[in-house]
Amino acid sequence: MITKMKKLTFLVYHKEYEDFLNSLRELGVVHIVEKQQGAAENAELQDNIRLSARLAAALKLLQNQKHEKDAVIAANGGSAERGLQVLDEIDALQTEHSKLLQQQQTCGKEKDALEAWGNFEPEGIQRLKDAGYVVGFYTCSEGNYKEEWEAEYNAMIICRISSKVFFITVTKDGEEVDLDVEQAKLPSQSLAQLEAQYANTETALEENEKKLVALSETDIPSLKEALKQVQTEIEFSKVVLSTEQTAGDKLMLLEGWAPATSKVEIEAYLNDAHIYYEITDPTPEDNVPIELNNKGFFAWFEPICKLYMLPKYNELDLTPFFAPFFMIFFGLCLGDSGYGLFLFVGATAYRLLAKKLSQSAKSIISLIQILATSTFFCGLLTGTFFGANIYDLPLPFIQRLKSAVFMDNNDMFQLSLILGAVQILFGMVLKAVNQTIQFGFKYAIATIGWIILLLSLAFSALLPKVMPMGSTVHLIIMGIAGVMIFLFNSPGKNIFLNIGLGLWDSYNMATGLLGDVLSYVRLFALGLSGGILAGVFNSLAVGMSPDNVIAGPIVMVLIFVIGHAINIFMNVLGAMVHPMRLTFVEFFKNSGYEGGGKEYKPFRK
């Protein structure tokens, strides 16, 4: 259900405009029509947007810090002013961290280069050079090293590492050394100095990280307050930029939307403030913001609809119409009563034990509970409980339940196709309703013709004794449906164009409808594959456990728990994705759903 909206137009004297906007923000129910006049050129807005991004990144950095078990984390308090100071401190720590990290990497490379040569003082090499002796550092493979270099250049092997020889030569200053090997360029510091420098840098990095952890324990609330304040200023700037100036910049014109239920409250405020305003109904050309207003069971499925897109203001909200189907589809895809019971108990326990839950979190938990309940009852159709078949138990109650609800694979396959056909036909009915609401009844005649045609074919196939296929009554019904399909698919156009478009629609319907119905086979396939995999884990748990009184049960339980945990994760993911696919593609397409609505976001702090 879509909340009814009213269009608001304000005309305010420029000197009173800022106070008016502050009061409007306190009211918190008006969605401002954003026109973004000069937003890209507004320096203050762009600065605030960049500041908001920096604050969000800093907040995420602090929230990702790891704390000690006994650490006390500040949950509330703080100020926006302190948050901006924390941002500067984090920037300084991040800059220092980058410098230290670069320094550590450079030091590490130089240390690695010296390890093969050992710890010596570079000053000693320089003293030898001052005395007239040059020390050269070389590396080569063992096959390329020649022993005559020891006599010719006073070569001395320092070490051998992985068939690589590290050696030095000692020659008089000015004497040419002709070696076809790689000459090493060593750092100007000793290995001991580099190791000390590396350790100091590592200590400095640890201190840097401790400072970040300390900030995360005390100043996250301050960062959140600063981020809220900056976002409020951004919204305020956007509203100012959405204002039109009239009468020589003396009057400010602003447009917005508000729920019809808030009309009395808004009128009372505007009358007290002596503001000129107009409240009107939306026209078909208006881009009205959308606020979904479903209650109870249907409200829990609104996040799923929002994953696709919101409806337009003048079309049906399909959330109440796909919710029951989605619930059943999820249960069939997961298809295990044990998994359903596990999810229900887990969600219920979390709801009871959690100290503070937001309204959105409560809605998500309620959705999990209802989907888990559907899974439990859909699992009874096949008798699957954690991969085992409960209908193998010789209990009278279980056997009566089996005779009442049990379905084999052939039955489950047919059930999937029947559900698909029902949802697609239901979608076509909604399409006819949508077309009637948006354009008028004559635009829905062709869709109604298709519904009549498909229902007549289904009725003749299921009840041939009541209305045989091809009988006079059936042919009359099909003839009426054909006239509706071929002559009313594009009202107001040429009759021959209508017939041509009718033929094209017939081709698309014949090819598309079959594919759409067959898509629902995934409901049967996912449930079957999940049950088979659960049974495989049960077999592994029993077959791979050792014949030992202590180790056997432990191994069996571990395989059972880990295997079913993997299976639950994979199947829950599939049980969410594939019903969404059936809803967003098959159902929305056949119901003529266009979407594209913009979410209602009132101007408030």
Per cent of the chain over pLDDT 90 is: 24
Query: CA 159 to CA 164: how far, in whole Å?
Result: 8
Give residue 492's pLDDT. 66
Check pLDDT > 70 for residue 61. Answer: yes
Structure tokens at 164: 């690589």
Which of 147-156, 464-473, 580-589 bottoms out in mean pLDDT, i.e. has the lowest? Answer: 464-473
Query: CA 531 to CA 534: how far, in whole Å?
Result: 5
Residues near 482 by Cβ (< 8 Å), separated by ≥ 6?
A: 449, 453
Bridge partners, 280 (sequence order): 7
Query: CA 575 to CA 110: how far, in whole Å?
Result: 55
SS3 of residue 385 by DSSP: strand
Question: Residue 497 sits in which domain range?
Answer: 296-599
What is the strand order of the sheet 164-172 is part of? Answer: 156-161, 164-172, 133-141, 182-183
- Residue 593 CB-density burial (10 A; 0-12 exposed, 13-18 middle, 19+ buried): buried
Distance of CA 387 to the CA centre of its chain: 30
Q: Which of 530, 532, 529, 550 shows the shortest CA–CA distance to 540?
A: 532
Give the tens place of pLDDT for each residue, 261-272.
888 888 888 888
Residue type for 592, please?
G
CA distances to 312, 316, 443, 445 from 438, in Å: 10, 10, 9, 14
Asked if 354 and 453 sit in the same domain, the reply is yes
**pLDDT category of residue 367 using cuts at 50, 70 and 90:** very high
Q: What is the dihedral of CA 60, 65, 66, 71, to 10 degrees?
A: -100
Within a domain: 106 = no
Asked if 456 and 548 sit in the same domain, the reply is yes
Asked if 546 and 587 sit in the same domain, the reply is yes
Check pLDDT > 80 for residue 556. Answer: yes
Query: CA 101 to CA 533: how far, in whole Å?
Result: 48
Asked if 455 and 311 sit in the same domain, the reply is yes
Q: Are 252 and 14 in contact (CB under 8 A)?
A: yes
Query: CA 323 to CA 157: how far, in whole Å?
Result: 79
Within a domain: 236 = yes
Asked if 174 and 276 sit in the same domain, the reply is no
**Placement of tokens 């020649």 in the chain:** 146
pTM score, whole prediction: 0.74
Bridge partners, 134 (sequence order): 171
Residue type for 516, please?
D
Within a domain: 272 = yes
Which of 70-84, 102-116, 583-597 bottoms out in mean pLDDT, i.e. has the lowest? Answer: 70-84
The 8-class DSSP code of residue 585 comes to I
Final residue of a structural domain among 185, 214, 235: 185
Q: Are 527 and 382 in contact (CB under 8 A)?
A: yes
Structure tokens at 344: 């229900």
Distance of CA 42 to the CA centre of its chain: 32
Asked if 281 and 247 sit in the same domain, the reply is yes
The phi, psi pair for 168, rounded to 5°, reads -120, 160
Within a domain: 108 = no
Query: CA 205 to CA 200: how far, in whole Å?
Result: 9
Q: Which of 346, 202, 308, 293 shows the shortest CA–CA distance to 597?
A: 308
Give the tens place of pLDDT for each residue, 378-400.
999 988 999 888 888 888 888 89
Within a domain: 339 = yes
SS3 of residue 557 by DSSP: helix
Check pLDDT > 70 for residue 276. Answer: yes
- Residue 39 CB-density burial (10 A; 0-12 exposed, 13-18 middle, 19+ buried): middle
Asked if 336 and 271 sit in the same domain, the reply is no
Q: Are 20 and 275 in contact (CB under 8 A)?
A: yes
Q: Are 277 and 9 in contact (CB under 8 A)?
A: yes
Asked if 373 and 511 sit in the same domain, the reply is yes
Residues recorded for the chain: 605
Give the tens place of pLDDT for each residue, 198-246.
999 999 999 999 888 888 888 888 888 888 888 888 878 777 777 777 7
Bridge partners, 389 (sequence order): 384
Domain count, the chain: 3
Within a domain: 109 = no
Residue type for 90, please?
I
Structure tokens at 574: 């599939």
**Placement of tokens 């006994």 in the chain:** 70
Q: What is the mean pLDDT of the chain?
A: 86
Give residue 535's pLDDT. 87
Q: Are 266 and 279 in contact (CB under 8 A)?
A: yes
Give residue 73's pLDDT. 73
Asked if 449 and 587 sit in the same domain, the reply is yes
Query: CA 601 to CA 605: how far, in whole Å?
Result: 11
Asked if 437 and 552 sit in the same domain, the reply is yes
Query: CA 565 to CA 597: how far, in whole Å?
Result: 39
Check pLDDT > 80 for residue 508. Answer: no
Q: Which of 36, 6, 2, 3 shows the shortest CA–CA distance to 270?
A: 6
Within a domain: 263 = yes
Check pLDDT > 60 for residue 37. Answer: no
Check pLDDT > 70 for residue 42. Answer: no
Asked if 427 and 492 sit in the same domain, the reply is yes
Q: Are 31 and 601 in contact (CB under 8 A)?
A: yes
Asked if 439 and 470 sit in the same domain, the reply is yes
Within a domain: 308 = yes
Query: CA 85 to CA 91: how far, in whole Å?
Result: 10
Q: Are 120 and 166 in contact (CB under 8 A)?
A: no
Give residue 426's pLDDT. 92
Residues near 405 by Cβ (< 8 Å), separated by ≥ 6?
A: 380, 381
Give the tens place of pLDDT for each residue, 48-58.
888 888 888 88
Which of 116-130, 143-157, 237-251 bottoms out in mean pLDDT, i.e. has the lowest? Answer: 237-251
Residues near 140 by Cβ (< 8 Å), separated by ≥ 6?
A: 164, 165, 167, 181, 182
User: How many helices and strands (H and E) does the chain possess?
Assistant: 20, 11
